[in-house]
Chain A
Amino acid sequence: RKEVEQDPGPFNVPEGATVAFNCTYSNSASQSFFWYRQDCRKEPKLLMSVYSSGNEDGRFTAQLNRASQYISLLIRDSKLSDSATYLCVVNSMDSNYQLIWGAGTKLIIKP
C-alpha cells in the first residue's frame, strides 16, 4: 500500500462548480500536511498547508481527518485556471520529516 494515495482522476468539472477530492495517508505518525499544485510540465508549488482545525484560503478549503487518516481539498466557484494536478503531501518524524508525495489528482475545468 502506498503511503499517500490519491484518486488520479481526471475530474472533469464545469466552470463555477464546486469540486472536492481526498487523499489518504497510511502513517498515523504523520504530522504535517500540504496541498501542492502542479501545472502541466511545470514544477510543483505550494497551494496551502492543512491545519488540524481546517483552513480556508479564498475559494480553497482544506480539511484534516486524523481519525480516518485523510485530508481533503475543496474548491468553490472553480475557474479555468484551476485546471492542474493537485498533489497531497505529508511528513512525519518517522520519515525524518521528509515529504512523502501522492501521485496527484488531475483536475480539468471546462467552460
Chain B
Amino acid sequence: AQSVTQLDSQVPVFEEAPVELRCNYSSSVSVYLFWYVQYPNQGLQLLLKYLSGSTLVKGINGFEAEFNKSQTSFHLRKPSVHISDTAEYFCAVSDDRGAAGNKLTFGGGTRVLVKP
C-alpha cells in the first residue's frame, strides 16, 4: 500500500516570495512521483514528475521539485510566486509495475494563497 502526506494544508505567501510545499510518501515498492495543480473549478494539471535519474526535476511555470529517496520526500519549490499561482497543489505517487495499470495515490493537498 502507498500513502502520501502533504505536511501543510495551507500556505500563505506574498507575491514574488519563494514557496516550498512539502510532500512525504510511503511505499513498499518503487514509485513514480508527481505534482499536480488544481485551479478553482478545474481539473488537475501536471506540473512535473519524477521517474528516475536526476533527483532535481524542473516543471512548468517555474516550478521544480527534488526527490530524496532516503527521506522519502518530494518537495515542490518556486523561487518567486505570482498571483496566478494561487491554487491547490497535490502530490501523488503511482507504482512502477507497468502491467498493473494506472492508479494515482494523492496527498491531501496544499492550498497556496498568494497575497499582493
A and B: interacting chains: no
Question: Chain B interface (Cβ within 8 Å of chain A)?
Answer: none
Question: Chain A interface (Cβ within 8 Å of chain B)?
Answer: none
